[in-house]
Amino acid sequence: MRTSHPTTDRGDGRVVVVGGGLAGRVTAWRAAQRGFDVTLVEPSDARSASRVAAGMLTPATEAVFGEEPLMEFGVHSAGLYTDFVAELEAASGVPVGHRTTGTLMVAFDRDDLAVLADLHELQQRLGIPTERLTGRECRRLEPMLAPTARGGVLASADHSVDPRRLLRALAVAGARAGVHEVEDRAVEVTDDLRVRLEGGDALAADQVVLAAGCWSNAVTLPEPVVPTVRPVKGQLLRTRLPEGSEPLVHRTVRGLVKGSPVYLVPREDGEIVVGATQEERGQDESLTVGGLWQVLRDARELVPGVTELEVTETCVGLRPGSPDNEPLLGPTRVPGLHLAAGHFRHGVLLTPATGEAMAQALTEGTLPSPARRFSADREDT
């Protein structure tokens, strides 16, 4: 059952956004731009997946059989990114590290190459522009690839961004647009849309947006309108090239190594993010030898020079996965209560489209057509 609760078109209501990750901050900024009185609630010890994410904007190389509508939504969001970044950087004065050098997906062995061949066919059916390459052509683009690489797929339209800078830019732009931030933890949303905080205060609202990632289930609601948003653990490393070194990779390189995915995402400042595991281990945020070994083992098979990188940070994040691994956006069956959660692996990619969807949900009570499949109250969740 899909709900629609029309709201004011003047944007003069009180909106409380629970959660300070990318989904929450882009929603808060877009709502403030439309004249809403916006308060964002985020605890000081928040551990949003956005701060750990690598920042790949890769609808082409993220394509998975059975997730075609989600990939189409990703393509839509990727198409918004250039204008979104320009607007955000102008509003905040904070560069977000948007790189448009494309993504190269590489196969380590013949079985991996067969998987990439099937993926390429899917991309072609979805109208996503990609190009099949031989191993030699891959090494011509990325000379530091292992000589054993069998071949690959080049997605020139896949980009990347620095999620930490993106978060900072959204925070600054939000503050300049009038977003008020409260450093506390939301514990309950009441029948009359008051957001009760752990510190004892309560915030009155006309509309509430729950965007707390995999911690959304910890907020008590008037009725159970949030499907279980499970945490999916990811371990990765942040590394840096030795001073004076030539670039290890020139673009995002994603690989399949004996069936296991691995990626290297370069930044303009010399940082390279290497990741990541995908583990169904509940709220476990422990950093493990096995997890890091898996990432480094596969990265070394793909790009042997990774062993020369300096490790600057090890990270663990919990991606918020919905029951069907698709985002939960917009109005719920509780009037005035919205969701912006469950983005799983796609939170960074879907940031512009999430802001677009939530702005319309708050002003009109409906979702724009590209986002309607991902309605928060869809029956299949």
Stated pTM of the model: 0.94
326 in the same domain as 315: no
Helix (H, G, I), strand (E, B) or coil at 239: strand
Which residues constitute the domain of residue 330?
1-99+159-229+322-381
Residue 3 binned pLDDT confidence (cut-offs 50, 70, 90): very low
**223 and 274 both lie in a single domain:** no
Question: Cα separation of 246 and 143, whole Å?
Answer: 11
8 has a pLDDT exceeding 50:
no
Domain co-membership, 171 together with 305 = no
Residues 244 and 120 in one domain: yes
Q: Identify the domain boundary among 277, 306, 321.
A: 321
Count CB-CB contacts under 10 A for residue 83: 10
In terms of domains, do 164 and 152 share one?
Answer: no
pLDDT tens digits along 174-220:
999 999 999 999 999 999 999 999 999 999 999 999 999 999 999 99
Arithmetic mean of pLDDT, 110-126: 92
239 and 195 in a common domain: no
* Tokens read off for 275: 């990741």
Instruction: Return the pLDDT at 7.
Output: 43
Q: Within this chain, do residues 5 and 77 fall inside the same structural domain, yes or no? A: yes
Q: Specify burial of residue 40 (Cβ count, 10 A radius: 0-12, 13-18, 19+).
A: buried
- Could you identify the residue written with the tokens 């979805």? 126
Does one domain contain both 262 and 308?
yes
Mark whether 314 and 380 lie in a shared domain: no
- Of the residues 303, 321, 339, the one at which a domain ends: 321
The answer, yes or no, to whether residue 380 has pLDDT greater than 70, is: no
Q: Which residue has the tokens 């690489």?
A: 149
What end-to-end distance do the CA atoms of the chain give, in Å? 11
d(CA 37, CA 326): 29
Query: What CATH number does residue 276 fall under?
Result: 3.30.9.10
Count CB-CB contacts under 10 A for residue 94. Answer: 17
Contact 297, 319 (CB under 8 A): no
Does residue 301 register a pLDDT over 60?
A: yes
Q: Is residue 197 domain-shared with residue 314, that is, in the same domain?
A: no
Q: Does the pLDDT of residue 4 top 70, yes or no?
A: no
Domain count within the chain:
2
- Per DSSP, the three-state class of 11 is coil
CA dist 206 and 336 (Å) reads 6
CATH number of the domain bearing residue 80: 3.50.50.60
Instruction: Among 286, 306, 321, identify where a domain stops.
Output: 321
Looking at the structure, tell me whether residues 44 and 120 fall in a common domain.
no
165 and 235, same domain (yes or no) = no
